[in-house]
Structure 1
């Protein structure tokens, strides 16, 4: 049997899962932008410290009349960026948790979309297993015939009879899946 080409739809076939996935991508993109901007502001602040020495806090600078608006603006911007980064990180955790909780439902939607192909492949396994069970029964019959003629065939049983066919698992698989897909 040749393997049929099958395009498995992504989990985003489920609209709610797709929404969580899109939100996660958007939040990650925003976090990258925020972190890049935060790094630039931190660099600018660090460069100011090196070239101009220690700065007064913005509230003290305002009181003494030394307020450098660019420095104050950068520090305020850094504070805003840190707050935004924290909010985005927290939102990302919530979205990821919700997305993870939705995986089971989205998986069922994907499985339903390919159920026909699953059924065809299970039917092929059932047919193959039934053929193997028939061949195994023929082999067992031959071994019994040999033993009936007085031939010691114990070594044949352990060497040529596959365990999975004699353990009942194969017959149980056929019984469970054969009627659904046959």
Structure 2
């Protein structure tokens, strides 16, 4: 039997946390469920992370970071409209292939609002900093145009919302989506451009 290092265990905790928190949110997920999914004890879990909020923060920031890397990879060597279309296609593939990442994003936004309402701003600050790195990853390939970046991100949030609500790709709510694809199904299949 091969033993995992602490770093490997930590990584497996983050992956398990994304799956658990994506389904049940911050308040509905127990650390016991995460530990069970990973196959470790709760005391061991707390040797890797100081508490539930630290686990949720790591999972949230991982999702933001992975999305940033998807955008950067898609836009590499491209600019303007070509970059925009490539990033849109890559993002649609990401959330189609890994729906838990979309669910985790949505749970993150809810948690930031809830935790900040309780007077704790540290988590929100960390998420906002990660989100700004994501914004910059989109902003530069779009020619550092604030309007284009805002439009891209706004459409992305609409895609998140419609996807999270379960609208199928052929539903009319997707018509007219930005960029030029008429249906998100074309984006998911990589046909837009």
- TM-score, shorter chain, exceeding 0.5: no
Normalising by structure 2, report the TM-score: 0.25
Bigger Rg over Cα:
1
Greater percentage in helix: 1
